[in-house]
Structure 1
């Protein structure tokens, strides 16, 4: 275009002015067309929600909040169960707190609502093609394999055995603090508990979060950093460009490489051990290595890495947060604490402080307390699906 203009003897300064005018005209056009919403979105006057600014929609309102969840929570208090807003480069977001809508999207109409490619791209370094990110056959196959973990025999031998072992360490830590009279950060303790438990369940390794809290595992450090950095991409439309040249981007790439190297090394070592020792299922990785799909195909190393990491992401934070909220609510409700202690003292003792797998069903009030905690403080407060538009729902 510039060469054509030059052949017509138009000066460079005139070319610059022409380009500038064209650019400004285009911005004015977008500002008029998308006066209250993000560029590229349709007007939805049939839905209530906050007005945005031209082109960017409500992006800066989200950025000004401490977290995205806080932004949605404020809107839910103002607009109720159903509202909408727009975000630059992400599109229109429709939020529903209605149980019927949520049931339709996540259950009865599940196949009609998938994960969004933009969010898939944002989290690829960590999620890869794991169950949190994929749709269709990949999702169904991974879910079928993972669900085997929760069958009676596997759960008892693989998961609950590890939970008992780590719980004993937690009890000793709590006893030590109780005897000294010093306060303890329960949420931090629960995060250490779940990380060590999932390390044992997944790989048969001990990250040492409980036994050596002063020597934090580099895997845990980089794992946490990568999660936080990727989450920030949600409010940074140009995260690719920013991260390419920023210290944060370099730190993120380094963290993801360490996590990848750690997992691939773990997978290769585990495969070598299985060939030599012919082990039976003793952790999740063994189960996944031996799994085959409908065509007799096994997971490759990349797929194993993705499945394992998604399970750690799913299990560690959610479990720790659920335990933290439950303890908070118990301490805030003395009557609940008294009834829990009554039930606990009925079935447990100093000699037997942890229930066996078969005895868990006896703790009906504790189970009800945990379910009520999840109702009041859902551990996954936002769940996103798409069907020609982005939909986020509070659970």
Structure 2
């Protein structure tokens, strides 16, 4: 990071400082830290304090040293503060390193126990924090939600792009700190997304055929009439009812088959329209980033072409992940977090994150 960027980091913007002071003015209970918490085991069964996790905990220590004196966090009113750590595995352990997360969060009075800053673990899980911030290590999905998935494509809804924070790109109010300021995802091209929709439509058509195979077979009325006669000896009323249902079904068979054929044809028409749409596009159009619009196949309408629509993205296969050293710090995502029922904390927490020294966190990349 150059000297200009470093000097900018040292001075808070007026809006950031105002947010922190505004929150501090309402403080009723501050500097009350509960004992640190940690998930007892990683999600692949190792204890959270396993010796192999030392590099991850060392990186978390750097964040904790910044979090505990953070003025925005200390100014949260009516909370008890707590650091929570978790060590996770990757969903692709052969390609990406182990993940971890550390949260610095404030919990409201409904989670408190005793007078010594205690927090009920059960209540904390049920209610969640009022506010706080977190660092996710080696997690490329912290700012994204999965939107589509099959054996050929996993597509994610990209988080909203924000103003850079201390020079780092921001998505969904999270600073993404990667090597050479890279992000670990890339746009899904229009052609690839339309190909996914085509596969999805083919799956719907195959499911329809399996589900309706029996209903499309000619109904055996003669067989049901023979069955009714066997029943008649024991229960004439039941036999008459069986005959009525069977004859009604046969009488309506042509109409029902026509309705089924129509519903199947709608699936076929959609599939053919997808293929026509792809075939009509130039190579340049197919290579453009896919953005979610309201037109056919969720493509932008002419009126939406110039609007800042959300993009679909996928993991960038060229991002330099190193899975050999599974605790090497290769990506950090620093996020403000607020409970949905406490939206007033959102801006002050984003200001609190902006006050962190992101350069010292970026130095953890190795």
TM-score where L is the length of structure 1: 0.22
Instruction: From the two aligned structures, give the one with the greater helix fraction.
Output: 1
Higher Rg = 2
TM-score where L is the length of structure 2: 0.23
Instruction: From the two aligned structures, give the one with the greater strand fraction.
Output: 2
Larger RCO of the pair (alpha carbons < 8 Å, separation 6+)? 2
